[in-house]
Structure 1
């Protein structure tokens, strides 16, 4: 789970990315969170000779506007989709050289997390990321409910999705995965405390108590005031494995 300040960093960087991706040369926004809680933003400039990434543009803006306010975290967002991106190798190295403890917002199977510049090597930059459907990782115990249509949504924390094509990834205990083609139909943001009995039923649970127990297992320490996304989906031919 992210901290409230890290969530603000992601939100403001995403807003900047959506507002300023006017052409193919400016598609990625970078955001830097400082010790005081300030967020400094920048946009990439693509050129075949090389050009600054969003994070590097933000780093220049930081030097010009908040040099005495040290950087503690960084995020990058792809404007056309609003997806959080792992930083490229250049940005990792540059920010590592500023401070190896700067935290990067990246995404793993559980959602958005932070990893320091020292730790980030496993989250390599992948230029094909934006050509793939979004992936929704779900526990293997949910597979029968997904296939039967009893589970038609999932409650996520710090794991953003958007309406459109998706793949549900059922993670097996032995490490294998079952892929189910799907479509995210709606995403509704609320808080844990405002989830309803209907949310529990659509999520495949008997009642709201059972849903809250599952949330506490998946997200230890989750509070009633924490934001959650109710992600509704439709599975294509859920009775057939791929």
Structure 2
């Protein structure tokens, strides 16, 4: 798998966790640091509290710190160990909590090719789901789409292996410091096979080439097979002055 280049915002989170971890040492009760970014671009930090009764991991401490600061959904989280251990992946309990409370968060993990981020659902497949958490959902867009989404010119998107639920959602424009988010609603999700996708199903403009559209999807999703299932997601958005 070719490593995906990280956004500047994701690097900020990793650097914050590693910087805090570098300052730990000498106290065996605090050995891991975590950092998380919310949809407003704020970075929250915390350290673990080791105790024989089951003290909280750094990731759980940072969730509490973010909630104390009034943060909404978290979009990226990273943890790092003391003593120069670098990034550490979350334990099973933390993965379950993150999935339930922040189901769209990206988690930084160490790989042979350097730090990468993974959707938390990829770290905990076939998991139990806790619907009572009532977590607010986040839908990510490239920042170049802000104007079209805000003006209502873009009202659909096609995704692969990116579960999006019908209902209210926060639309996040990645690495867009000027606009960041819009409140919206996902109104429908239709699944189609890519090689059978029509221009009408993809909600293309009149005269647009569905073959060129498929090529664009394969460029965005390297290795996407011709018979892959894709989701056509339709949505509405509130007025731009509702953006945060």
**Structure 2 length-normalised TM:** 0.47
